[in-house]
Amino acid sequence: MFSLALGLFVFCVSAAEHHHVKAKTKRISLEVHKKLKLLNKRGVKTIKSEDGDIIDCVDIYKQPAFDHPALRNHKIQMRPSNHVQNDHNSSQLVSQIWQRSGSCPDGTIPIRRIRKQDLLRATSLENFGKKMPVHSSYSPTDDKGTVYINSTRVELGPQVNRSAAILLTTGYNYIGAQGDINIWTPRVESPDEFTTAQIWLKNGPGEAFESVESGWVVNPKVYGNGATRLFVYWTKDSYKSSGCFDLTCPGFVQTNKDIALGMVLGPVSSKMGPQYQTTFSITKEPSTGNWWVRIGQNVPVGYFPGELFYYLTRGAATLVEWGGEVFSSKVKQNHPHTATGMGSGDFASGKLGNACYVKQVRIIDYSKQLKYPEWVGTYSDEEYCYSALNYALSLAQEPVFYFGGPGRNPPYCP
């Protein structure tokens, strides 16, 4: 009799658990469906790329940016009014695999379709497409990212869940920056990690800074594989709650119908083989407060609207950075350290043909002239894991900034 009662009890518990799991699965499925409907705007044309990604050609006036409350009455600026005159011709043609399969019609923009499996890889639907936050609370022993530029102390803020190797300059009136960034495909060890090579323009307090960014990224969690992709990113609160990659949240306004954010970028460089690079540029228009992103031979992609920011809109950038970052919970004295590579996966000392580089480093101030920064400094969180080197063969030559590394390499970076 006891065994029968026990059996009935176990059956009832199992049935209850099954019902609970089924209800939870249904709820998650509904939430994912709702999120997909919000993210994926109806396109007038669909293009299936050879690499498996799908492009939707969406009416430029119906893109995700205009779901942002601050942009409900925003008027699209179709093209930048100011022209940035490159002082060199070293930028190479950027290509994307999807372009071989078709093109979007006038009046539309290409948007990489987000699929169910993309959302299910995220830690939560709210965090999809976002960087790990830079926490506002930290102990006195935490790395505050301190660097000296021409005897001026600069604190980058707490460097949490990230390791960087960067060239930087600080001032009060940077309305633009650019650089020719070498393109590679470094290894990413875990699906919840990613690595970038990029430009940042920042303003605001170290623990709540605003930033506009562009470059290339390898991010399996967001994009589904280890390919190198074009990206933009923004935040107004040091990644805590605002901003995202590309168009995965409202914000960035795209205007180019031929370049798709988040799509595979190429060709990529190889060790001691052909080297490929392209120019990444971010510039502000004082009349609108919009921060325009250009790539290649001065080709506008779109802009970060001034309505998104406070410091970057009312003023200019006070800090510009060029280089790479690895985002992982397995950095900063955590053993084993991540084996996710930065740049080419080689240290900066490898220089041309081995290490990733940024050439033709430039800033723009209110003189509206491209120029090499008056003062620069280099910074590396973990020099035995990822290094930074601003190198020139002679005083007569302009330096080339090299950066990167393999991450874990015992005994130096165990």
Whether 213 is catalytic is yes
Confidence of residue 172 (pLDDT cuts 50, 70, 90): confident
Higher pLDDT, 136 or 273: 273
- Classify 148 as helix, strand or coil: strand
* Angle, alpha carbons 211-212-218 (nearest 5°): 105
Q: Can you give the pTM of this predicted structure? A: 0.92
pLDDT at 288 over 70: yes
Convert 9-24 to b/e letters by CB count within 10 Å (16 or more is b). Answer: eeeeeeeeeeeeeeee
Of 29-38, 138-147, 149-158, 293-302, least confident by mean pLDDT is: 138-147
Sheet holding 108-112, edge to edge: 43-48, 54-59, 108-112
Tokens of 318: 């006070």
> Is the distance from CB of 71 to CB of 219 less than 8 angstroms?
no
The answer to whether residue 374 is catalytic is: no
- Count the helix, strand and coil residues of the chain and give each as a percent rounded to the nearest 5: 15, 35, 50
407: DSSP letter: S
Higher per-residue pLDDT: 208 or 411: 411
Report pLDDT for 140: 44
Entry field: residues in the chain: 414
DSSP letter assigned to residue 52: S
pLDDT of residue 64: 97
Q: Which of 189, 210, 325, 382 is catalytic?
A: 325
CA 402/CA 330 separation, integer angstroms: 23
| pLDDT (tens digit per residue) in 355-381 | 999 999 999 998 889 999 999 999 999
Per annotation, catalytic residue among 189, 193, 210, 213: 213
